[in-house]
Amino acid sequence: MMEVAAALIMRKERFMVCRRPAGKARALLWEFAGGKLEPGETGEQALVRECREELGIEVRPMGVFMEVVHAYPDVTIHMTVYRAAITQGEPQCLEHSEIRFITADEAENYAFCPADQAVVGRLKSL
Q: How far apart are CA 64 and CA 118, in angstroms?
A: 15
| Residue 25: predicted pLDDT | 84
This prediction's pTM? 0.95
* 43-87 pLDDT per residue, tens: 999 999 999 999 999 999 999 999 999 999 999 999 999 999 999
Cβ-in-10-Å burial (0-12, 13-18, 19+) of 9 comes to buried
Q: How far apart are CA 77 and CA 104, in angstroms?
A: 24
Beta-carbon neighbour count of residue 53 at 10 Å? 12
Residue 40's beta-bridge partner residues?
none
Contact 113, 25 (CB under 8 A): no
Q: How far apart are CA 73 and CA 52, in angstroms?
A: 29
Determine the average pLDDT of the residues in 5-29.
Answer: 94
